[in-house]
Every structure is written in C-alpha cells, then in structure tokens.
Amino acid sequence: MSRLAVRKTYKLYIGGAFPRSESGRSYPVTSPKGDFLANASRASRKDARDAVSAARKAFPGWSGATAYNRGQILYRIAEMLEGRRAQFADELGLGKKAALESVDAAIDRLVWYAGWSDKIASVHGTANPVAGPYFNLSTPEPTGVVAVVAPAEPLLGLVSVVAPVIVTGNTCVVVAAERTPLPAITLAEVLATSDLPGGVVNILTGHQAELAPWLAAHMDVNALDLTGVTDPDLALRCEQEAAANLKRVVRPSGDDWAADPGTGRMTAFLETKTVWHPMGV
C-alpha cells in the first residue's frame, strides 16, 4: 500500500511567520495545463497593511546591519536555494532542463547581488570636493519600505526584483506572481531559514489588482516597484496613488531576466545622503 503524501499548505509570509490570510480566503493555483496544484492564500488589504508594518519594523535593524552581514545573508539564501534546487525545479513546472537552468540562474543572481552589499556605496557614493574647509561625503542609503509587484517569471524574476531591494538595506512587501505564487512561498521557507531577519521580506499571494493599489497608496511605503504589473490602467492608477507621499516608482519595462541586471534596480531604491563637517583645529 502506497503512503499518502502530506501536502503543503501555502500560506503568506509576514514578519518571519507564515500566517493564513486574515480574510480566510484562498484561491486555487493550477498548472499551465489547468491541473489543480494547491490552494494559495488570497491576501487582503489588511494582510498588506500587516506586511507593511512588519517591513517597517524590520527596517532599522536590517538597514543598520553591516553591509558585510547583509551580503553574508544573501549568500546564505543562495546556499539554501542551491540545496533545494530539485524542489524548485519541480515547482516551476517547466521542462526539467529549463527549470533547473532557471533555478540556477536565480541562485547565481542572488550570489551576484550578495557581493554588491559592500560595494554599491563605493560605486554610487561620492567624495565631494567642495569649495571650503569641509569634509563632504555622499553615501547611498536605503529608501525604506519598498512594495514590489513581482513579475510573472516565478523564481528568477522574483529573486531579480527582491535581491536588489534588500541587499542595500531596504525591507519589502512583495506581491507574488498571481498565477504562479507557489515558488514564492517556497522561497519564503528558504528565506526563513537563511538568517534573514523576519519582516525584511514579506510575501503576499493573491490578486495583484486587489493588493497593488493599497500598497501604492500606503503612506508608510517609501517606494514602489511595478515590474509585475502588466495592465497599463492598473499601473497608471498605482503610479497616481504613489504620488500621495511621493514614493519612488519603478515603472514596468520589458525586463530580460537573463541579461546583466546592472545596478539600476539597486540605485532606484537608494537615497543619497550628503554629510558636511567643517575641518578645523
């Protein structure tokens, strides 16, 4: 007699915990062929609000951690992901070879970004030779809480938008790809076991059109990445809502996840802080 499998319940990832949606709702996730895969939590605006609170709470600690420490943790995520290559490949539901390639690319991307943690300030900061007796230095600093609408590409795309946000010290609330949310929640399990402090990454599954506008309008969110929004009306509405507290907005563009990402996704969520001090005896 064959053993009955224990199925996984896919829940949200908020503040380092895995709660169900406070609304009690879920929605069925199916394979491209239409087979039922699992019920995912359908997050509500209140879950989004809780996720923002968790991200805000995590911000001082994460942004205050050393760059070295953040880099170590991102690298640790890559290590954990490497250990679960097969599981992710299965979950991606592509052909086996393509799936593994995609997982590998996601792992490599994490490693790439991990190394940026203690270099971006050298590349993006400036020493400013002002015309006076002053020490003057500009350094990049994380902008705060970033709301990210993740692209449909469920793992590589997700990693490619989350890693650049957090490596510099931001915390985030991610709306996972609506149709393919399962790798996002499995990634959350990786994050939860990678020494990443709870609340740095919060993952919501559910309906993009329901969640994104609330995040775009939230007055305690500092920036908005609309990469995953393909509906131009929804993108426009989110951008307009984002103006209420002048969020930094990254607008959707045709991203090629295989290409060299450059530093743009990091710098989009960095502030430049310039410190002056007189020089005198």
Partner 1 sequence: MSIFEYAPAPESRDVVDLKPSYGLFVGGEFVDGSGPSFKTVNPATEETLAEVATASSDDVDRAVQAARKAFDAWSGLPGGERAKYLFRIARIIQERARELAVLESLDNGKPIREARDVDVPLVAAHFFYYAGWADKLSYAGFGPDPRPLGVAGQVIPWNFPLLMLAWKIAPALACGNTVVLKPAETTPLTALLFAEICLQAELPPGVVNIVTGAGETGAAVVAHPDVAKVAFTGSTDVGRTIARTIAGSGKKLTLELGGKAANIVFEDAALDQAVEGIVNGIFFNQGHVCCAGSRLLVQESIQDELLTMLKRRLATLRLGDPLDKNTDIGAINSAEQLARIRRLSESGEAEGAERWSPACELPERGYWFPPTLFTGVAQSHRIAREEIFGPVLSVLTFRTPAEAVEKANNTPYGLSAGIWTEKGSRILWMADKLRAGVVWANTFNRFDPASPFGGYKESGYGREGGLRGLEAYLDV
Partner 2 sequence: MTTSLADVASSGATLRAFLHGLPGVDRVGADQRAAMLGSRSIKTTAKARAIDLAISMVDLTTLEGADTPGKVRALCAKALHPGEGAPRVAAVCVYPDLVPVAAQALAGSGVKVASVATAFPSGRSSLEVKVSETKLAVAAGADEIDMVIDRGAFLAGDHLKVYEEIQAVKAACGEAHLKVILETGELATYDNVRRASWLAMLAGGDFIKTSTGKVSPAATLPVTLIMLEAVRDFRDATGRQVGVKPAGGIRTTKDAIKNLVLVNETAGDDWLSPDWFRLGASSLLNDLLMQRQKLATGRYAGPDYFTLD
Residues that bind partner 1 (CB under 8 A): 64, 123-124, 126, 128-132, 134, 136, 138, 143-144, 222, 232, 235-236, 239-240, 242-246, 248, 251, 264, 271-278
Q: Please, what is the minimum distance in Å from the beta carbon of residue 136 to partner 1? A: 5
What residues are paired with 249 via a beta bridge? 224
Phi, psi of 83 (to 5 degrees): -65, -20
Q: Which amino acid is at 272?
A: T
State the DSSP H helix or E strand holding residue 226, giving kind and residue range, or none if neither.
Answer: none
Selection from 53, 48, 70, 43 nearest residue 15 by Cα:
53
Q: Please, what is the minimum distance in Å from the beta carbon of residue 198 to partner 1? A: 22
Site membership for partner 2, residue 281 (CB under 8 A)? yes
Q: Please, what is the minimum distance in Å from the beta carbon of residue 138 to partner 2? A: 20
Of the candidate residues 18, 75, 112, 134, the single one contacting partner 2 (CB under 8 A): 134
CB closer to partner 2, 34 vs 129: 129
Own/partner contacts of 126-132, CB < 8 Å, gap of 24 or more, are 128/274, 130/276
Which listed option, partner 2, partner 1, none, makes contact with residue 281 (CB within 5 to 8 Å by class)? partner 2
The C-alpha atoms of residue 54 and residue 182 are separated, in whole angstroms, by 22
Which listed option, partner 2, partner 1, none, makes contact with residue 279 (CB within 5 to 8 Å by class)? partner 2
